[in-house]
Structure 1
Amino acid sequence: MATVPEELRGRWVPDILGSPFESLTLPLTADWQGDVVATLVRRRPTRFAGLRTAFGDAAGWDVLYVHGWSDYFFQTELAEFWEGRGARFFALDLRKYGRSLRADQTPGYAASLDVYDEDLEAALTVMGHGADSENRSRRLLLMGHSTGALTLSLWADRHPGRADALVLNSPWLEFQAGAIARRAIAPLANIGARIDPGGQLPNVDLGFYSRAVSKAMDGEWEYNTDWRPARGFPAHPAWLAAVLAGHARVDEGLSITAPVLSLVSARSTLSATWSPAMLSSDIVLVVDDIAEHSLKLAPTVTVARIDGALHDVLLSRPAVRATAYAEIARWASAYLD
């Protein structure tokens, strides 16, 4: 296992989620807004996890989870699921998100999705999966949601052999209006990124997704609304251009060398007015497009359509989550052995 560089040898501290979660601040290269960090979160195995760690179908695996846009890691149930299958679980709050967001920083801002290579490399190095790690004794599963899933897919394509498996939760692989609209909008986004990269784009988030998720409304989840605001972070031209560039790369076809599981809802409900159907469907992405584009990621892709699922499949109603976790478990028993 590679030695962790001195600059990454921080101290694990109790996390905001409480025991057994801990977090570690990862210093990154400063940018135009000053110091930049990412934050690695881990779930320490409980005293009763020994047999699962030794004999579960994910024994010998490390899982790294990456959140989506306007989000951060708070899904303790997900960590418990992977520990229950024998894996060690980690999650990463990317720069300018969640635990990594600092005062006077633009939340979620990135001019290229490739910038997150540094965040991922810092986390993987601490986990023992750095670029210079030799003779790894454990295998690596990357798991991401939405924009995080897009970021991980692109990273895995550029770094063949580094990840041994990917699980994608509603990966944002195509623009909601489709490829034709994306190709028309991309040049305008690129011009905006050059002229005013940090300018604020119109907010098209009407807050319906938060209504479906938040316990304060029609959902069941409690979280920090400063880190996951009701109508999302303001979007910027540079960020939009970066995402559209990522979509174009997926559209051309990737060659991820690891098996991929893509979880998506069975249906989409995209509307400017609230509907009860939004409590049981994806109201962010066109799921048919995502399912189709998932097949462009790798030679071996499994697509699981989950009836009644929200955009974040693992924040859906309990019965729907149970179905999704069962799908992951079935896939894991086949591909993680």
Structure 2
Amino acid sequence: MPLRAALSAQEAAVIIRQALEQAGLQGPFHCQPIADGGDGTCALLAESLGLEPHFLMVPDAYGRSVRGVYYLERSAQRAFIDLAAASGLGARGKDRLAPFQASTVGTGLLIADAVAGGCREIVLGLGGTASIDGGMGILQGLGFTYLNRAGRELHAFHPARFQELAFIQRPIGLPALRFTLLADVRHRLFGEEGGIRVFGPQKGLATTDFEHAERGLAAWLELAYAKGKRTFVDQAGYGAAGGVAAGLAAFFSIDLRAGADFFFQQVQLADLIRQSHCVLTGEGHYDTQSAFGKGPHALLCLAEKVNPDAKRILISSGTLGRKAPADRFIALPPLQQQGEMAKKEAAENLFRACYQAFHGA
């Protein structure tokens, strides 16, 4: 139930259950918060799967110290990490965003710590990143060194790192890591509909800087793929998270997955749906992008596939939810408040809409 603009998936699931119970519906109910590769996906997966958290102080996207976290699945030598945990936008105001300075190096240090503990696969949730560094910072956290033409090392937060980069030094003994990358968008990296132009403004990128950012990333990827002895081909999904997948693919084996599909498989959601009479999900605002990788739409499609007899219900604000693959649409009013007041308003709106829709049903 991603209504995360104001409520977490867990909070929304609890509210819906309470509304259904008070409306007089008889269970049993099964609450499964879902995610689709966006901010918090791996944390939610870890909670659902009972994974072990590991904490480490690392630099955030702008170099400030932050407590990062990854989740360990020891039996599979696998770690789950949200890119946004260390390298996200956080609470930084829009007027203070600096996409050319922001780096994913903190996430790289989390990965390095997991690798030192024996992990050989990294599941990385790509949502919510503050940077457009093409994975340059992650690789730096894993031991790669970048030099300018004078042989001087470029630090992770150098605002002109793309323009000054001349040489890449690969670390000795680089582990044979596999990356499973979870995305909720399918944009390529470059072009009018590419991730730089579509998502760059969310990270503070001005429209007048689009071409500058594209030239910088193209130069970085040209050097990286030459060093990795691979050929770069822009692909669907590379536009997520400022091109992280594109940079990692220069040196590692990557599996770029639709985050919702991966999440559903891990929590065995199809089995739960087969046992259900009704599947109810929600999104803060169902829009034209919802059908392209967002969790609620993917869940409704999964339900239609594995249990066509189950009733499918979508809760959302706006009117486009009426076009979703659902049997019923429950409309939420738009939020009028901000901050903590918006959270309270969202909770009240969600409870009221669910209660009124099912009371006496």
- Please give the range of the TM-score, normalised by the shorter of the 2 chains: 0.3 to 0.5
Which protein is richer in helix relative to its size?
2
Name the TM-score, length of structure 2 as normaliser: 0.33
Name the TM-score, length of structure 1 as normaliser: 0.34
Which structure's relative contact order is higher, taking Cα pairs within 8 Å and 6+ residues apart? 2
